[in-house]
Amino acid sequence: MQKRAFYSNEESTDRLQIKHLMTLVERHPYLNDIVTAFKTDELAEEFILIDRIDLVFAKLKRLNKDFERFNISARISDISIRESKSPLENLANPLPLIFNFSVYHSNGQSAEDMDAYAIYDAKNTFFDNYEMSKYANHLYKNGLGELAKYNLEYFKQQAASQPELNAPSSYRMVLNNGDVFLRGITSVDRYFEYGVDFAFVVTILLLHNDMKRNAGNGYSITSTGLSESKLELIIADKRIKNAGAFGNVSSALVVTTNDLGQGSLNFTKIIRVGDRIDEGMYLYPKSENARENKLLISHSTKQDRVFEKLAALSGMLNNTDDFITDLNDVKSIKKPEELRQRIYNRLNNPRNVLYSIQSLKDIFKNHINDELQDLVKLLKMCSKAEELDIDYDLKEKLRYLISDIILNKKSEQ
């Protein structure tokens, strides 16, 4: 499960040598590309000076030690599925389906008989091959797993006799405490995984280059969300500027990666609002200019193109002044109570993916005789929402929702 980390109370050296940073990717398939692109062999002794960099590095090292990631390839005809009998701790579903691979291949070697617990969306991805994920989930939920098994056995028999239906897929595994978990299913040759480690290392190296080119630039890691397959990293520009009614602001870089099938590696520049660099809220600017501050690298991108795209990231930095212009153009901030009500109404809509998070709705709930009179109080509410420990996919949707309402330049009647 993804764990969010805040660092306001942890002591940090705020520095890390490049040679230590590179140990995170020492077995990564893109290692040589990283070394060539950033000349890390020549700069191995240099220190990267970013607030809390050593703390995040230590957490990633522990994560790598506890969760060993590896991939196998297998054919449908060699896979069976059964239901768990004993619950597992720390899983959203304590009784996940068990995939058995009677024959599989890893690193060019053939092996037999491996069980893996299906986590995340691996189960649905598998059933989607037969357009039956909703049907299968209904069967398992209602104690009719044997019927689902009967359907799968039929498809296995078809695959065994028809080679075109039996092409291998890549099954992405993780080993933890002696148990093997199936975290994703992808194409064998059209999926390129960057990984949490790759995302962190290249981001830090890009920022290090930026600080060397631009004297006075500085960055602080304010929040991370980590699992073996997903990462959210927020890195704030330490140069704080005044933005009128919004108070003190700076820009921030949000880095996310999701290695669970259809995910991607994303870099997004946003606005950080708040007096202290490690507190506040984050807004997605709405102007055409600001919308260009996003870089997305899909998992179908080959490694040579990945580094071409990463080179464009330098152009996304150092643009806080553009964001301030975007904020000062907002016309609707004179009615903070109306904005609070609109945020609450959106969160309280049963069709909203955030609807079930009661603690979030409670923050924006109307309190008797406590009508919002100024924007400062509304921004404090938004800051409290930012502090909630929820998955980064949901946190991103929350930021977009709040940004859409607060930064709407059209006055609503």
Tokens 């259809």: give the residue: 262
End-to-end CA distance of the chain: 43
pLDDT of 318 over the 80 cut? no
pLDDT of 3 over the 80 cut? no
313 in Cβ contact with 295 (< 8 Å): yes
Confidence of residue 262 (pLDDT cuts 50, 70, 90): low
Q: What is the pLDDT of residue 40?
A: 97
400 in Cβ contact with 284 (< 8 Å): yes
Q: What is the pLDDT of residue 330?
A: 77
User: Rg of the chain over CA atoms, in angstroms?
Assistant: 24
Residue 203's alpha-carbon distances to 102, 160, 296, 300, in angstroms, are 40, 45, 13, 20
pLDDT of 413 over the 50 cut? no
Q: What is the pLDDT of residue 94?
A: 86
Instruction: Using CA atoms of 49, 201, 220, 231 in order, give the dihedral in degrees to the nearest 10.
Output: -160
Q: What is the pLDDT of residue 328?
A: 79
- Cα dihedral sign, 162-164-168-171: negative
Overall average pLDDT of the 66-78 stretch: 94
Give the closest residue to 219 by CA, choosing from 253, 246, 248, 247. Answer: 253
Full 3-state SS string of 262-303: CCEEEEEEEEEECCCCCCCEEECCCCHHHHCCEEEEECCCCH
Domain boundaries, the chain: 3-65+193-319, 76-167, 330-406
**252 sits in which H/E element:** strand 248-258
What region does 143 belong to: left with phi over 0, alpha with psi -120 to 50, or beta? left
pLDDT of 158 over the 50 cut? yes
Angle (CA) 244-403-5 rounded to 5° is 100
Mean pLDDT for the chain overall: 87
242 in Cβ contact with 325 (< 8 Å): no
The 10s digit of each residue's pLDDT in 83-116 is 998 888 888 788 899 999 999 999 889 999 999 9
Q: Which two tokens stand for residue 207?
A: 């920022």
Q: What is the pLDDT of residue 263?
A: 65
SS3 222: strand
Q: What is the pLDDT of residue 223?
A: 87
Q: What is the pLDDT of residue 294?
A: 83
56-65, 322-331, 339-348: lowest mean pLDDT where?
Answer: 322-331
Which among 153-157, 324-328, 404-408 has the top mean pLDDT?
153-157
Confidence of residue 301 (pLDDT cuts 50, 70, 90): confident
17-26, 43-52, 115-124, 239-248: lowest mean pLDDT where?
Answer: 239-248
How many CB atoms are closer than 10 A to CB 403? 19
Give the closest residue to 34 by CA, choosing from 230, 263, 209. Answer: 209
How far out from the chain centre does Cα 268 lie? Answer: 12
Confidence of residue 323 (pLDDT cuts 50, 70, 90): confident
* Integer Cα distance of 203 and 150 in angstroms: 48
Overall average pLDDT of the 117-127 stretch: 92
Question: Which residues, 6 or more positions from 300, have their beta carbon under 8 angstroms from its beta carbon?
Answer: 190, 191, 192
Tokens 């020549």: give the residue: 42
**366 sits in which H/E element:** none
